[in-house]
Structure formats: C-alpha cells, structure tokens
C-alpha cells in the first residue's frame, strides 16, 4: 500500500511539473508574439505627407487631406492613414487589404510579404500615387466605390484592371494581428464602417483626393 502511495505522489509531482512547463511555454510564446508586433512609423508617415502635399499642389488635388497606405506593415495592423494637411497629423487609421496574387482569394497568405504588379490578371496591388475621383456603385461592402486613376508607371493599368477603392464585409474594424486581413484581387479594401467614415470626407471636398500606396 505504501508503495502505491509513493508512486501516486511521484506521479502528481511530475504531472504538475510538466503542466507548469507547458503554462510557462504558452505565456512565453504570447510575449514573443507581442514583442514582434509591428508598429507604424510616424516619422515615415510625416515625411510621405510632406511630399504628398507638394504633389497635390502641383497636380491640383485636394489639399485638405490625403490617404497614405504603408504596405510595408503587416496586413493585420492598421496601415491606412488619413492625413490632415492642416493639422499635420493622422486623423483616422484603418486596416486595408491587398492583392492575393497566386494565393487563395480571401485568405491572408501574404500578410507580411505582399508582392505588387501593374499587370492585368496578376491579382496583385500596385504601388504608387493615385487620383481618387469618380464615385459609383459597388457590388461589395456598402455598395460604394471610387475609381483609382494611376499617376505613375507602377500603376497606370489601375482602371483597366478594375482596381477601385471599396469596402468589404470580411474586413475587420479592429486589428487582427498576428492574423492578416483577407486578400482580394488588388483593390485596397477597408471595412464597411471605415468606408462610412471616409466616403463623406471625399464627397465633401468635391476635389480629387490623393491615395499613395507605398512600402
């Protein structure tokens, strides 16, 4: 009987020890994930905004605000920034999706390593500056889209490729890192609530708005 009692006690000790190791491992991994969480670089955004203002003035685009999208950031992090030229600050930020390329549509296969192309059929987003002008009906999200006129060699085929700015039901309002945002066929997509906030801003200005997608 004593032998069984000793064996039972030893079993409990080893079980608790293993359980503690597993708990510690889970906690440690959660800290590692949090430490690796990327953050937007405000100095980079500010530098882009300063350049954007000069571009808007030269191209007669709206000088109240612009849209800056930093595709170097993980797609589960808010990387779509509405920059106010008057206050020189980010006034709104959202998640934004990019093109899936050869990955499955609506997955997050390239959440931290997107590729870009100007080629029709690539299903990839295009880097560069766009003139956002022309509001229309969309089959996606809240049924609003804006045409994106590519202004650089890297995005000249945007209209031909039907690359437009629209919302998508699958896009989240909140950051989803370490997961990524769902990927479409190249359009910069935001959540429905995000579009409900951005749409009135674009309509109110009555002028074409600059959207700059960069890395």
Provide the pLDDT for residue 46: 98
In this structure, what are the phi and psi dihedrals at residue 183, rounded to the nearest 5 degrees? Answer: -110, 130
**Which are the contacts of 203, defined by CB distance < 8 A and separation ≥ 6?**
135
Smallest CA-to-CA distance from 141 within 168, 165, 163, 173 is with: 168
Same domain, 111 and 184: yes
pLDDT reading at 137 higher than 50: yes
Same domain, 195 and 159: yes
Q: CATH number, domain at 162? A: 2.40.440.10
Is the separation of the CB atoms in 68 and 166 below 8 Å?
no
Peptide bond into 178 cis (omega under 30): yes
Pairing of strands 65-70, 209-214: parallel
15-48: per-residue pLDDT in tens? 444 444 444 343 334 333 455 899 999 999 999 9
Smallest CA-to-CA distance from 160 within 144, 149, 145 is with: 149
Domain that holds residue 30: 1-36
Percent of the chain's residues with pLDDT above 70: 84
Same domain, 22 and 49: no
Same domain, 95 and 172: yes
Provide the pLDDT for residue 35: 57
Question: How open is the CA angle 209-77-75, to the nearest 5 degrees?
Answer: 80
Same domain, 12 and 51: no
138-192: per-residue pLDDT in tens? 999 999 999 999 999 999 999 999 999 999 999 999 999 999 999 999 999 999 9
Reported as a pLDDT band with limits 50, 70 and 90, residue 9 is very low
Same domain, 116 and 170: yes
Percent of the chain's residues with pLDDT above 90: 82
Lookup result for tokens 């993980």: 74
In this structure, what are the phi and psi dihedrals at residue 207, rounded to the nearest 5 degrees? Answer: -125, 155
119-135: per-residue pLDDT in tens? 999 999 999 999 999 99
Same domain, 7 and 48: no
**Which are the contacts of 108, defined by CB distance < 8 A and separation ≥ 6?**
75, 76, 179, 180, 181, 182, 183
Smallest CA-to-CA distance from 78 within 39, 125, 33, 130 is with: 39
Same domain, 124 and 202: yes
Q: How far apart are CA 76 and CA 183, in angstroms?
A: 11
Q: How far apart are CA 205 and CA 56, in angstroms?
A: 14
In this structure, what are the phi and psi dihedrals at residue 65, rounded to the nearest 5 degrees? Answer: -155, 165
Same domain, 71 and 169: yes
Provide the pLDDT for residue 163: 98
Same domain, 77 and 178: yes
Average pLDDT, the chain: 89
Same domain, 8 and 75: no
Q: Which residue has the higher pLDDT, 8 or 114?
A: 114
Same domain, 31 and 46: no
Q: How far apart are CA 72 and CA 53, in angstroms?
A: 21
Q: How many domains does the chain have?
A: 2
**The pTM is what?**
0.84
């Amino acid at each position: 009987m004593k032998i069984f009692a000793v064996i039972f006690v030893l079993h409990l000790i080893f079980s608790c020890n293993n359980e503690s190791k597993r708990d510690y491992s889970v906690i440690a991994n959660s800290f590692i994930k949090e430490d690796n969480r990327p953050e937007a670089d405000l100095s980079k955004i500010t530098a882009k905004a300063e350049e954007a203002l000069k571009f808007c003035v030269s191209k007669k685009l709206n000088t109240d605000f612009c849209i800056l999208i930093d595709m170097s950031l993980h797609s589960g992090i808010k990387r779509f920034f509405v920059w106010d030229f008057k206050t020189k600050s980010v006034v709104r930020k959202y998640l934004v999706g990019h093109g899936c390329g050869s990955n499955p549509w609506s997955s997050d296969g390239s959440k931290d390593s997107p590729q870009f192309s100007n080629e029709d059929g690539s299903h990839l987003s295009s880097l560069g500056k766009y003139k956002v002008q022309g509001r229309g009906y969309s089959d996606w999200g809240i049924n609003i889209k804006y045409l994106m006129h590519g202004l650089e060699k890297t995005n000249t085929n945007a209209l031909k490729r039907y690359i437009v700015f629209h919302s998508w039901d699958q896009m989240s309002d909140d950051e989803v890192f370490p997961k990524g945002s769902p990927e479409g066929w190249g359009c910069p997509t935001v959540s429905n609530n995000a579009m409900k906030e951005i749409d009135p801003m674009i309509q109110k200005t009555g002028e074409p708005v600059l959207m700059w997608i960069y890395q």
